[in-house]
C-alpha cells in the first residue's frame, strides 16, 4: 500500500514538470510498467450500495401495448449515485412489467366529448432488474409507479418584455412550429395512423415511446465492485492515459467563475392548490459537484432548503395555478450549512408540452393555439352553409366535431344544417377546453427532478475549501 502511494506521488511530480515532456512521458511509462503488481495488489474493487428510497427515473424505449403483464423495456433517464460515485449510469437498461391498469376517468370523460368511447387506462409499472454497461444484470425492486407520461426538459427562456399583441403572435408562432414538427419530424407514418385512430369511436391503447416513470427503490441495490470500478476511474490516475510527450491542456481560468449547477429531487409534493407563500420545503442533491481539480464541492445527499415565493390556485375560465420558489440554504451531510441564493434553472416536466419557464425560473402554463384553433374550426363549420359548396363537400369539410361518427353522419344525411351543427359543436368544445373550463393547478410531484443555479460567489467559496 505504501509503495503504491509513493509511486503515485512520483507520477504526479513528473506530470507537473513542464520541461522535457517526452523524457518525462517515457519515464512515466516505465514506472507504470514496473509498478503493475503494486497497483494490482492495492486495487480492491469497492462494491457500491444504493440505499432504499433512491429515486429512479425510467424512460420507455419503444411503444408498448396497453396490456396487463406486458413486459416493459426502459432506460435510466439520469445517473444514480452512491457515496458520490456513479452506481447506475445514464442509459442503463431496466426491465419491468405492467402490474395493473386503472381507469383514467378524466381522459375518458374528455374523449367522450368527441364521440371517442375508448376505455382509457393508467398503467402501473414496476422494475425488477437492471443491465449494467458490462452486461452484468443486477436485481432491484421499485415501488409501483402510475405517473407515466412523455417528459420534456424545461429550461429558462430568454428575458424579454412583450406586449399583449406580441404574446399572441408568439402563441401563433408556437402553434405553427409544433404543427411543422408534427408534419416533418421522423415517425410521420405512425403519427398519421394514431391520428386516424383518434377519429374512431373505439381504438386500441398503447404506452407511448419516451414515457417516463419515477419510482423509488424498495430495498438497497448492490452494484458489483468490478462494474463500479469500471464506471468510476480513479481521477488521480485517469490522466495517465495521456500520450507520452503530449503537453497537458492549459487550465481554464473561467471554470471556477461559473455559477454552481445542482441537480436535485424534491422530497415532497408542491402544488399551487395548497402551497402558501413562505412555506419551506426540502430537496436532496442527486449528483455530486466537483471542482476543476476533482475536489468535492457539494456531495450527493446534501439538502437544499427552499421557500415558496408565489402561489395561486387555479380558477375558472381556464386560469391555471401559479407557483414559484427559490432556495436559501444548503445543508451538507457533515452538518455544515451555507446561505445561498438559488433559483430554478431547469426541470423534468411530464406531459409538459404546454408548460414554459421564464428567465427567472418561474413555470407557467402556455397552451398553444388558444385563439387560432377555435377560429379555424368556426370557419370550417360555416362551410356547409356556403352556396358555393355541394352538400357532401361542405359536410366533409365542416363536420369536425365528433370524429369519424360526425363526419359519416354529416355526409350521409346530406344536410347542410346538420353538418354545420356538428362543426359548430366541435368549435364550441375547442372554445370550452381553451377558455371556459376550470384551469389546472401547477404541481411538482415528489421526486421531481429539478436543476438549481446557485450564485457564483458560493461556488467560489466552496471550491476554495
| One domain for residues 14 and 69 | no
Residues forming beta bridges with residue 138, ordered by sequence position: 130
CATH code of 143's domain: 2.40.128.260
| Residue 12 forms part of a structural domain | yes
357 is a domain residue: no
The reply to whether 114 and 22 lie within a common domain is no
Q: Rounded to whole angstroms, how far apart are CA atoms 220 and 218? A: 7
Same domain, 65 and 30: no
Report the C-alpha gap between 240 and 32 in whole angstroms. Answer: 9
Residue 427, C-alpha cell as written in the block: 368549435
* Beta-bridge partners for 402: none
- Alpha helices (H) in 99-156, listed in sequence order: 105-112
Rounded to whole angstroms, how far apart are CA atoms 166 and 160? 11
- Identify the pLDDT of residue 256: 44
Q: Where is the domain boundary, 196, 225, 254? A: 225
In a domain, 383, yes or no: yes
Query: Are 60 and 98 within one domain?
Result: yes
Half-sphere exposure of 93 (CA within 13 A, CB side): 13
Instruction: Verify that 208 and 140 share a domain, yes or no.
Output: yes
The 3-state DSSP class for residue 169 equals: helix
Query: Nine-digit cell at 16?
Result: 507537473
**pLDDT averages per 10-residue partition of the chain, 465 residues:** 51 52 54 53 73 95 94 96 94 96 94 91 96 94 92 74 59 60 67 84 92 95 90 61 40 52 95 94 94 86 94 90 92 89 87 69 72 80 72 63 78 79 87 88 92 72 56
Please list, in sequence order, all residues whose beta carbon lies within 8 angstroms of the beta carbon of residue 405, skipping any fewer than 6 positions away: 115, 201
Domain extent for 404 = 372-436
CA neighbor of 439 nearest in space, from 372, 356, 367: 367
- pLDDT, residue 285, reads 96
66 and 7 in a single domain? The answer is: no
User: Sign of torsion, CA 226 230 232 237?
Assistant: positive
Same domain, 6 and 140: no
Looking at the 3D structure of the chain, how many domains does it have?
3
pLDDT attached to residue 384? 75
Handedness of CA 17, 290, 156, 431 (dihedral sign): positive
Q: How far apart are the two ends of the chain, measured CA to CA in Å?
A: 28
How far is residue 375's CA from residue 352's CA, in Å, rounded to a whole number? 25
Do 219 and 145 reside in the same domain of the chain? yes
Do 53 and 34 share a structural domain?
Answer: no
How far apart CA 183 and CA 191 sit, in angstroms, is 9
Q: Count the neighbouring beta carbons within 10 Å of the beta carbon of residue 311.
A: 22
Find the DSSP H helices in 335-442: 372-381, 391-398, 403-413, 416-431
CA distance 32 to 465: 32
Asked if 220 and 50 count as a contact pair (C-beta separation under 8 A), the reply is yes
Give the number of other CB atoms < 10 A from CB of residue 237. 13
Alpha helices in 185-240 (DSSP H): 188-198, 225-231
- Asked whether residue 289 is assigned to any structural domain, the reply reads no
Strand ranges, E, within 269-414:
270-271, 280-285, 289-290, 296-298, 303-312, 322-331, 337-350, 355-357, 363-365
DSSP annotation string for 37-75: HHHHHH--PPPEEEPTT-EEEEEESS-EE--TT-EEEEE
Say yes or no: 75 and 103 in one domain. yes
Residue 334 domain flag: no
pLDDT for residue 394: 60
Whether 91 and 29 share a structural domain: no
Task: For residue 394, tell me if it sits in a domain.
Answer: yes
Query: Do both 37 and 56 map to the same domain?
Result: no
**Residue 110, class by beta-carbon neighbours within 10 Å (0-12 exposed, 13-18 middle, 19+ buried)?**
middle
Residue 62 resides in a domain: yes
Tell me if 60 is assigned to some domain.
Answer: yes
pLDDT at 109: 93
Strand partners of residue 331: 303, 337
Residues 421, 425, 428, CA angle at the centre, nearest 5°?
135
Task: Give the single-character DSSP code of 319.
Answer: B
Instruction: Out of 225, 259, 285, pick the residue that ends a domain.
Output: 225
Amino acid at each position: 500500500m505504501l509503495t503504491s502511494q509513493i509511486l503515485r506521488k512520483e507520477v504526479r511530480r513528473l506530470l507537473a514538470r513542464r520541461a522535457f515532456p517526452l523524457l518525462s512521458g517515457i519515464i512515466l511509462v516505465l514506472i507504470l510498467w514496473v509498478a503493475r503488481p503494486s497497483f494490482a495488489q492495492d486495487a480492491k474493487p469497492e462494491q457500491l450500495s444504493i440505499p432504499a428510497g433512491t429515486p429512479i427515473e425510467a424512460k420507455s424505449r419503444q411503444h408498448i401495448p396497453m396490456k396487463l403483464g406486458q413486459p416493459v423495456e426502459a432506460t435510466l433517464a439520469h445517473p444514480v449515485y452512491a457515496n458520490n460515485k456513479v452506481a447506475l449510469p445514464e442509459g442503463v437498461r431496466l426491465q419491468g412489467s405492467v402490474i395493473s391498469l386503472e381507469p383514467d376517468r378524466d381522459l375518458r370523460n374528455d374523449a367522450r366529448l368527441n364521440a371517442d368511447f375508448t376505455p382509457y387506462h393508467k398503467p402501473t409499472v414496476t422494475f425488477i432488474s437492471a443491465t449494467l454497461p458490462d452486461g452484468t444484470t443486477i436485481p432491484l425492486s421499485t415501488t409501483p409507479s402510475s405517473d407515466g407520461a412523455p417528459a420534456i426538459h424545461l429550461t429558462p427562456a430568454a428575458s424579454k418584455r412583450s406586449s399583449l399583441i406580441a404574446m399572441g403572435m408568439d402563441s401563433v408562432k408556437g402553434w405553427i412550429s409544433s404543427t411543422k414538427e408534427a408534419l416533418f419530424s421522423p415517425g410521420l407514418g405512425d403519427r398519421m395512423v394514431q391520428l386516424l385512430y383518434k377519429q374512431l369511436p373505439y381504438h386500441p391503447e398503447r404506452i407511448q415511446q419516451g414515457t417516463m416513470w419515477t419510482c423509488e427503490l424498495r430495498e438497497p441495490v448492490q452494484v458489483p465492485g468490478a462494474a463500479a470500478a469500471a464506471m468510476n476511474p480513479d481521477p488521480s490516475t485517469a490522466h495517465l492515459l495521456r500520450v507520452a510527450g503530449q503537453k497537458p491542456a492549459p487550465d481554464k481560468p473561467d471554470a471556477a467563475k461559473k455559477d454552481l449547477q445542482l441537480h436535485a429531487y424534491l422530497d415532497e409534493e408542491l402544488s399551487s392548490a395548497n402551497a402558501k407563500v413562505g412555506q419551506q420545503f426540502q430537496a436532496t442533491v442527486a449528483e455530486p459537484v466537483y471542482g476543476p481539480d476533482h475536489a468535492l464541492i457539494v456531495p450527493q445527499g446534501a439538502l437544499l432548503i427552499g421557500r415558496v415565493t408565489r402561489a395561486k390556485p387555479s380558477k375558472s375560465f381556464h386560469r391555471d395555478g401559479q407557483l414559484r420558489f427559490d432556495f436559501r440554504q444548503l445543508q451538507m451531510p457533515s452538518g455544515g450549512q451555507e446561505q445561498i441564493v438559488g433559483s430554478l434553472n431547469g426541470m423534468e416536466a411530464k406531459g409538459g408540452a404546454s408548460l414554459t419557464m421564464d428567465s427567472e425560473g418561474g413555470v407557467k402554463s402556455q397552451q398553444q393555439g388558444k385563439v387560432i384553433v377555435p377560429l379555424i374550426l368556426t370557419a370550417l363549420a360555416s362551410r356547409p352553409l356556403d352556396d358555393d359548396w355541394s352538400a357532401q363537400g361542405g359536410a366533409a369539410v365542416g363536420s369536425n366535431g365528433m370524429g369519424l361518427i360526425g363526419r359519416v353522419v354529416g355526409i350521409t344525411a346530406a344536410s347542410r344544417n346538420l353538418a354545420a351543427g356538428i362543426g359548430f359543436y366541435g368549435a364550441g368544445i375547442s372554445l370550452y377546453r381553451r377558455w371556459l373550463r376550470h384551469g389546472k393547478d401547477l404541481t411538482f410531484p415528489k421526486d421531481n427532478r429539478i436543476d438549481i443555479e446557485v450564485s457564483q460567489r458560493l461556488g467560489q467559496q466552496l471550491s476554495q475549501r
